[in-house]
Amino acid sequence: MGVPELLTSLRELYPPQRLLTTPAQVTPFESDALTAFRARPEAVVLAETQQEVIDTVSLCHREEVPFVARGSGTSLSGGSLPVEGGIVIALNRLNKVIRLDPEQRIAVVEPGVINNHVTRAAAPHGLYYAPDPSSQSVCTIGGNLAFNSGGAHCLKHGMTSNHVLGIRAVLPDGEVVELGGESTEPVGPDWTGMFCGSEGLFGIALEITLRLVPVAETTCTVLAAYDSLQAAGEAVGQIVASGLLPVAMEIMDALAIEAAEASVKPNYPKGVPVLLIVELEGERKVVDTDAARLREVIDASGATEVNVTEQAEERALIWKGRKSAFSAVGWLAPDYIVQDGVVPRSRLGEALGEIDRMSTEAGIRVANVFHAGDGNLHPLILFDGREQDALHDAEELAAEILRLCVRLGGSITGEHGVGIEKRSYLPLMFAEDDMALMRRVRSAVDPGELANRGKMLEPTHAPEPDTGAEDEGPGTSPSAVPSAGAPT
């Protein structure tokens, strides 16, 4: 029982080019977009069929070897960080859109399908897949499902779990289950909803039924400049109070705007301290009426400059700037940490003021770009990992921001998931009985804690792998500093 026996069996299952075991082969899989952590897997299998995934999981169960499923490795919470002594099941080759049914507005896909590719397949029918994490051009549906990914348009459209109707999944012992179906109104407990966002702890989704939505007849994007974050935050409150329901409301501060301009040149208004992006979509008649109302609210809110566009190219450029903001801060500092805590919308101003104070006090620059409509912050904590203690100080500041979010009645994560990064902060949000229940559920589904061990919940079954702090060997530790990783 163990890794050698598992490898022997895997050699029968996979041709050599799809079973990676040498250091040169497995090194690229040591980290995901949370590059502060890395761990070396014993092997990586490149699965091509659902049956191969099922067989691999069954073998891992038989040999009691932990496994981690991985798509494109864009997790910002370390969701696909390998487990020391375990294997990685790479799912990118399970990339078929199995079925697209425009009349029922559903797509059935494999987990390795890239988020954008669902929309690409649906586009000829006037449909698209709504959840739009910033990494949507590379991240996979399997990863989106496991971490209940969000995006800029959650305000109206919701998160990934609101768009997953059915899942065929392999549980951590190899048993295959069917959850949900094709209807938006399932019957019986919402097992599908429970599986979404479980961070890989319940097994691997093999086949996913997604809800598609019609492309709006028209979309109107408004860029409004403000003198302060507080003024922009108040404008968001006034828009909500006006009864409008935008699809997205985003705020970028001067540092984030500067970064975006330096990288993708989105042509934002020049020299403004804060930018608010508001988007409306729907029938032309409705958008025309709502846009006029929105304009009134924004004009009365102290905006210093307002640009409005319904041009697809201009709109694409605005969003390119916004969605590249994470990686763009690489222009400003060699390294950064990004958090995605949530606060109640009406406490945004307070939260931003506090973050500004903490940042000044710590002498660490923080760029802010966030989903204002959802109260979902994205403080980008900038540092230079070559400086002594810089990573540690940045992590301290990040932790303080998370505590602030919980104190204000919010969440430690809006869309990146807990992963390994925020695991120790989960108990800030939940009482011991809540945590105990989550652990009970986890161990009922996966008594051996084989599936994505150590993510979201502290491992109880097996000791934590070496931290690598004492030696130079690979380990699950912040042994490398974060760099401007893939955006989310």
Partner 1 sequence: MSVAAGSVEALQAAVRQGPRVLPHGAGTKPALCTPPDDAVALDVSGLSGILEYDPAELTCTALAGTPVAEVSAALAEHGQYLPFDPPLSEAGATLGGVVAAGASGPNAFRHGGVRDFIIGVRFIDGTGRLVSGGGKVVKNAAGFDLAKLMIGSLGRLGVLVQLSFKVFPRPEATTTLRVDLGSTEAALETMAALGLGPIDLDALDFEPPGRLLLRLGGAKETLTARADRLGSLLGAPAERLDDEADVQEWRQAAELSWASTGGTLVKVGLTARRIPGLEAALAQSGARTRYSLGGNLGWLAWPGDRDIAELDGALRSLELAGVALTGSPGRVLLGRIGGGAFATRVRAALDPHARFLEV
For residue 444, give both structure tokens. 């009922």
- Compute the distance between CA of residue 91 and CA of residue 394 in angstroms, rounded to an integer: 33
Q: Which of 378, 422, 453, 455 binds partner 1 (CB under 8 A)?
A: 422
- What are the CA-CA distances from residue 242 to residues 238, 290, 296, 429 (Å)? 6, 10, 10, 32
Nearer to partner 1 by C-beta: 145 or 260? 145
Q: Is 302 in the site for partner 1 (CB under 8 A)?
A: no
Phi, psi (degrees; rounded to nearest 5) at 174: 95, -10
- Compute the distance between CA of residue 68 and CA of residue 83 in angstroms, rounded to an integer: 7
- Compute the distance between CA of residue 92 and CA of residue 110 in angstroms, rounded to an integer: 9
Nearer to partner 1 by C-beta: 284 or 357? 284
Nearer to partner 1 by C-beta: 182 or 314? 182
Q: Tell me the window of 80-88, 248-256, 289-297, 324-332 that interacts with partner 1 (CB under 8 A).
A: 289-297
Nearer to partner 1 by C-beta: 46 or 57? 57
Shortest CA distance to 152 belongs to which of 337, 381, 318?
A: 318
Q: Tell me the window of 85-93, 310-318, 403-411, 466-474 that interacts with partner 1 (CB under 8 A).
A: 403-411
Q: Is 296 in the site for partner 1 (CB under 8 A)?
A: no
Q: Which of 97, 194, 306, 462 binds partner 1 (CB under 8 A)?
A: 194
Contact 154/205 with Cβ under 8 angstroms?
no
Q: Which of 179, 205, 260, 451 binds partner 1 (CB under 8 A)?
A: 179
Other beta carbons less than 10 A from residue 188's beta carbon: 6
- Compute the distance between CA of residue 87 and CA of residue 21 in angstroms, rounded to an integer: 10
Q: Tell me the window of 51-59, 64-72, 219-227, 431-439 that interacts with partner 1 (CB under 8 A).
A: 431-439
Pairing mode, if any, of strands 176-180 and 164-170? antiparallel
Nearer to partner 1 by C-beta: 7 or 240? 240
Q: Which of 44, 60, 109, 171 binds partner 1 (CB under 8 A)?
A: 171
Contact 369/325 with Cβ under 8 angstroms?
yes
Q: Which of 3, 7, 13, 216 binds partner 1 (CB under 8 A)?
A: 216
Q: Which of 41, 66, 375, 385 binds partner 1 (CB under 8 A)?
A: 375
Q: Is 124 in the site for partner 1 (CB under 8 A)?
A: no
Q: Is 196 in the site for partner 1 (CB under 8 A)?
A: yes
- The number of helices, as runs of H, and strands, as runs of E, in the chain is 16, 18
Largest CA distance in the chain: 70
**Number of residues in contact with partner 1 under rule CB under 8 A:** 97
Q: Is 431 in the site for partner 1 (CB under 8 A)?
A: yes
Window 19 to 48, contacts with partner 1 (CB under 8 A): none
Three-class SS state of 8 = helix
